[in-house]
Amino acid sequence: MVSFNKYATSIRDLKLPDNLDRPIIIGEFHFPAWDRSFAANADCGQLCEEQRADSYWYYLTGALDNPLVVGTHWFQYLDQPLTGRADGENAPIGFVDVTDTPYDELTKVTRELGDHLYDRRLQANPVTTSKKTAAGKVKSALNKKES
Domain ranges of the chain: 2-146
The tens digit of pLDDT for each residue in 77-115 reads: 988 888 888 887 888 889 999 899 999 999 999 999 999
18-46 exposure pattern, b = at least 16 Cβ within 10 A, e = fewer: eeeeeebbbeebbbbbbeebebbbeebbe
Residue 25: the pLDDT is 98
| Average pLDDT of the residues of the chain | 82
SS3 59: helix
The tens digit of pLDDT for each residue in 16-30 reads: 999 899 999 999 999
Residue 128: the pLDDT is 59
Residue 24: the pLDDT is 97
Residue 35: the pLDDT is 82
